[in-house]
């Protein structure tokens, strides 16, 4: 693991989670890279609707995934839902994805099925992606797409909500939205990994922790700086 001084280590349930500015988590004890909500090929969905967009954001997403995998040295990638954005996304991005998979022939890949994965349909077998329904139990965690209280009381890690922090420069200054990692007492939510995604503001509850991705750095955000409440966020993106 090539440790970046701009990473942040968050320990929970006796495990070490390295929060990376690539918007992913390296689970040290398992040598696993966790990422959520890549929404690959989203541009293809817009093109199928008559809106001409290049594939740039999805290619950038895969480039950043390359960086995270190379730097972490992870032997397995677990995607917490929404790998692709839809059926047209898979079709439009298949050639690029096939080439990417060939660059990582020994990497194990698991996908926890999310909302968009249901719309994407079956993925090519040559990509060797194992699909799991949530929750995927991987002690001591439950890996999910949708944040939800665990029936067994286990700590969960999820995506789906595209969490972010909304920062303001004074009362009338500019507003800045940054993706973030959010950890409550029950579970943690990863930022959307995809480049073509937005964010929904969160406000840490007591006992929780929030870390923003600010460019090439992960920084802890005090609760007083956030504008929107996590409890009021809608399920859906």
Per-residue pLDDT at 215: 86
Low-confidence ranges of the chain (pLDDT < 50): 44, 46-47, 49-51, 53, 226-237
Closest CA relative to residue 23, chosen from 35, 12, 33, 32: 35
Per-residue pLDDT at 234: 33
What is the per-residue burial (b if ≥16 Cβ within 10 Å, else e) of 143-170?
bbbbbbeeeeebbbbbbbbbbbbbbeee
Per-residue pLDDT at 228: 39
Per-residue pLDDT at 189: 95
Per-residue pLDDT at 49: 46
Give CA torsion, residues 93, 81, 231, 7, to 10 deg: -80
Burial class (CB in 10 A: 0-12, 13-18, 19+), 127: middle
Per-residue pLDDT at 109: 96
Give me the architecture of the 8-232 domain, per CATH. 4-Layer Sandwich (3.60)
215, 82 in Cβ contact below 8 A? no
Cα separation, 140 vs 12, in Å, equals 10
Per-residue pLDDT at 46: 47
Q: Give the DSSP H/E element, type plus range, for residue 182.
A: strand 175-183
Per-residue pLDDT at 9: 95
């Amino acid at each position: 693991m090539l440790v970046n001084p701009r990473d942040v280590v968050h320990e929970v349930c006796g495990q070490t989670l390295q929060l990376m500015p690539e918007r992913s988590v390296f689970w040290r004890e398992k040598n696993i890279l966790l990422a959520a909500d890549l929404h690959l090929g989203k541009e293809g969905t817009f093109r199928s609707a008559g809106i001409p967009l290049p594939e740039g954001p999805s290619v950038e997403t895969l480039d950043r995934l390359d960086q995270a995998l190379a730097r972490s040295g992870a032997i397995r990638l677990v995607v917490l839902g929404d790998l692709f954005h839809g059926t047209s996304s898979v079709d439009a991005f298949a050639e690029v994805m096939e080439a990417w998979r060939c660059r990582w022939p020994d990497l194990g890949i698991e996908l926890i099925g999310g909302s968009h994965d249901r719309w994407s349909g079956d993925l090519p077998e040559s990509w060797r992606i194992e699909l799991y329904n949530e929750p995927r139990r991987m002690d001591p965690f439950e890996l999910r797409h949708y944040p939800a209280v665990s029936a067994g009381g286990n700590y969960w890690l999820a995506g789906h909500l595209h969490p972010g922090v909304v920062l303001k420069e004074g009362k009338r200054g500019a507003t800045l939205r940054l993706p973030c990692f959010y950890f409550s007492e029950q579970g943690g939510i990863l930022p959307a990994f995809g480049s073509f995604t937005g964010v929904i503001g969160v406000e840490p509850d007591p006992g929780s922790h929030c870390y923003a991705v600010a460019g090439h750095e992960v920084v802890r955000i005090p609760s007083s700086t956030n504008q929107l409440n996590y409890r009021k966020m809608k399920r859906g993106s």
